[in-house]
């Protein structure tokens, strides 16, 4: 009997060790495949791998470095739970056969902000791939074209984004949450939707019903409205009006018009924030927001929206003629200001001779109408760098010379 008991103990230990080793090896293989599939977008570090006999896979101290961001997304702990060791081994051996029910928990998510969070912020066009203007523009400067950025968040006291994530897949529903510290939360419920993995690509099989998305700002929008209005030198109401006007212009460029209730809801959200719940259908145009035709007598479906728990009626879009800004047929010749030797001012300069202005204050206008002002640091055939003082330090921004349409220098005028 003792020998049988000892044999059983040995077999259990061998089985346990085999399970742990198998999970580690399979997880390492799957993470290597994920790194390869994502290598054109960024770098994925898996961290350390551990597992539990109840069907859990745990990654500790993982991270994701997106090539478009200057800082990595840190993941202190990622836990994938299938509910049984057999389902876990099956999912790792063949990711296309995920179990009917599983959960993924992401603890200790962290993203440190810096003033130049986006590497390509200088050359960003502010339009979509079809050239239409952006719909959501939050201006935080006297120039309405200068949008809210990570540098503004830092000056507001938000130096990092931190929180936790959760995904639960069941037979008839996909549920996901992202809860952050002091910057709000996002919650998604999608009946009949399923996450699947095919050829190392992650996709979502749409459900027949729309997804329900709930956004809670956690007081963030009030802080943004107050900060951006102060930076722009206007009242918060006027600032919100600018953002609504940008939404209207973006919709007009797409041949659409927003209902009065939709504009009022957007303005209220910008000023007060709160809890906003909407129904979305990603496979439809405008994500399922109803688009009415003018000649239907004002009748038609409305978007299912709830604001702070109360339903909001008459939220919809209407078809309209696209509004295109016309370019004058005759180009207006720019006026060259007469230089005054007694005063300093901005004077245009040749980009080819920019090297002689190193360490001088310059102002650069880009093809996307962005204006960058600061100290000229370096010049090469391909790009030049301008340093700006941000949050008490100086940060250099590289700009491609082919994207520059105007180059000016702050200097004293020359005698005519």
Per-residue pLDDT in tens (0 to 9) along the chain, 416 residues: 667 666 666 666 676 677 788 888 988 999 998 888 888 888 899 999 998 888 899 999 999 998 878 889 999 999 999 999 989 989 999 888 889 999 999 999 999 988 777 644 444 445 554 556 788 888 887 777 678 888 888 888 899 999 999 999 999 899 999 999 989 999 999 999 998 887 767 788 877 789 999 999 999 999 999 999 998 889 999 999 999 999 999 999 888 999 999 999 999 999 999 999 999 998 888 888 999 887 565 678 899 999 999 999 999 999 887 776 554 443 333 444 555 566 778 888 888 888 888 888 898 888 777 788 888 988 888 888 888 776 556 777 788 888 888 899 888 776 54
51 inside domain: yes
CA-nearest of 215, 185, 191, 216 to 204 is 191
Cα torsion 216, 218, 222, 224 to 10°: value is -90
End position of a domain, from candidates 170, 189, 209: 209
In a domain, 182, yes or no: yes
Domain limits at 75? 2-112+159-209
Q: Is residue 139 part of a domain?
A: no
Helical residues (DSSP H) of 124-235, grouped into ranges: 150-155, 220-232
pTM equals 0.73
Judgement on whether residues 205 and 349 belong to the same structural domain of the protein: no
**Is residue 89 within 8 Å of 191, Cβ to Cβ?**
no
- Euclidean distance between CA atoms 361 and 407, whole angstroms: 11
Residues, the chain: 416
Number of domains composing the chain: 2
Residue 364 domain-assigned (yes or no): yes
Question: What are the DSSP calls for 233-247, one per residue?
Answer: TS-HHHHHHHHHHHH
Q: Is residue 323 situated within a structural domain?
A: no
> Is 403 domain-assigned?
yes
Q: Per the domain annotation, does 386 fall within a domain?
A: yes
Domain boundary among 172, 191, 209: 209
300 sits in the region (left: phi over 0; alpha: psi -120 to 50; else beta) called left
Helices (H), 236-359: 236-253, 260-272
Residue among 76, 77, 95, 81 at smallest CA distance from 26 = 95
Strand 317-319 to 291-292 pairing: parallel
Kindly report the backbone phi and psi dihedral angles of residue 44, in degrees, each rounded to the nearest multiple of 5, phi listed first. -105, 120
| 12 vs 53: CA distance, rounded Å | 12
In a domain, 265, yes or no: no
**Which of 209, 239, 273 is a domain's end point?**
209
Q: What is the CATH number of the domain that holds 355?
A: 2.30.30.100
């Amino acid at each position: 009997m003792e020998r049988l008991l000892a044999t059983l103990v040995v077999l259990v230990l061998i089985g346990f060790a085999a399970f742990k080793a198998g999970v580690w090896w399979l997880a390492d293989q799957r993470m290597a495949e994920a790194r390869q599939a994502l290598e054109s977008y960024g770098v994925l570090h898996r961290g350390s791998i551990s597992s539990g006999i109840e069907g859990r896979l745990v990654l500790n101290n993982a991270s994701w470095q997106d090539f478009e961001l200057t800082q990595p997304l840190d993941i202190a702990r990622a836990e994938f739970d299938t509910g049984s060791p057999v389902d876990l081994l099956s999912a790792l051996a063949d990711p296309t056969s995920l179990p009917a029910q599983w959960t993924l928990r992401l603890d200790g998510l962290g993203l440190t902000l810096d003033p130049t969070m986006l590497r390509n912020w200088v050359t960003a066009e502010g339009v979509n791939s079809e050239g239409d203007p952006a719909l959501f523009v939050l201006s935080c400067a006297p120039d309405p074209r200068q949008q809210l950025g990570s540098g503004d968040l830092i000056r507001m006291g938000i130096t990092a984004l931190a929180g936790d994530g959760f995904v639960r897949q069941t037979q008839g529903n996909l549920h996901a949450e992202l809860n952050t510290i002091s910057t709000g939360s996002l919650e998604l419920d999608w009946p009949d939707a399923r996450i699947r993995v095919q050829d190392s690509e992650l996709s979502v099989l749409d459900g027949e019903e729309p997804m329900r998305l709930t956004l809670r700002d956690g007081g963030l929008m009030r802080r943004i409205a107050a900060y951006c209005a102060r930076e722009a030198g206007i009242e918060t109401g006027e600032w919100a009006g600018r953002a609504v006007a940008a939404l209207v212009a973006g919709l007009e460029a797409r041949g659409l018009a927003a209902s009065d209730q939709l504009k009022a809801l957007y303005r209220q959200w910008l000023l007060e924030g709160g809890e906003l719940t909407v129904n979305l259908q990603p496979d439809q145009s405008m994500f399922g927001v109803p688009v009415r035709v003018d000649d239907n007598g004002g009748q038609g479906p409305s978007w299912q929206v709830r604001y702070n728990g109360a339903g909001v009626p008459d939220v919809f879009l209407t078809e309209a003629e696209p509004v295109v800004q016309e370019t004058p047929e005759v180009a207006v010749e720019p006026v060259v200001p007469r230089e005054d030797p007694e005063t300093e001012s901005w004077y245009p300069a040749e980009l080819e001779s920019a090297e002689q202005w190193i360490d001088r204050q310059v102002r650069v206008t880009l093809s996307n109408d962005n204006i960058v002002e600061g100290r000229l640091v370096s010049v090469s055939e391909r790009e030049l760098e301008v340093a700006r003082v941000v949050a008490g330090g100086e940060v250099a921004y590289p700009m491609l010379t082919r994207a520059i349409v105007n180059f000016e220098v702050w200097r004293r005028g020359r005698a005519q």
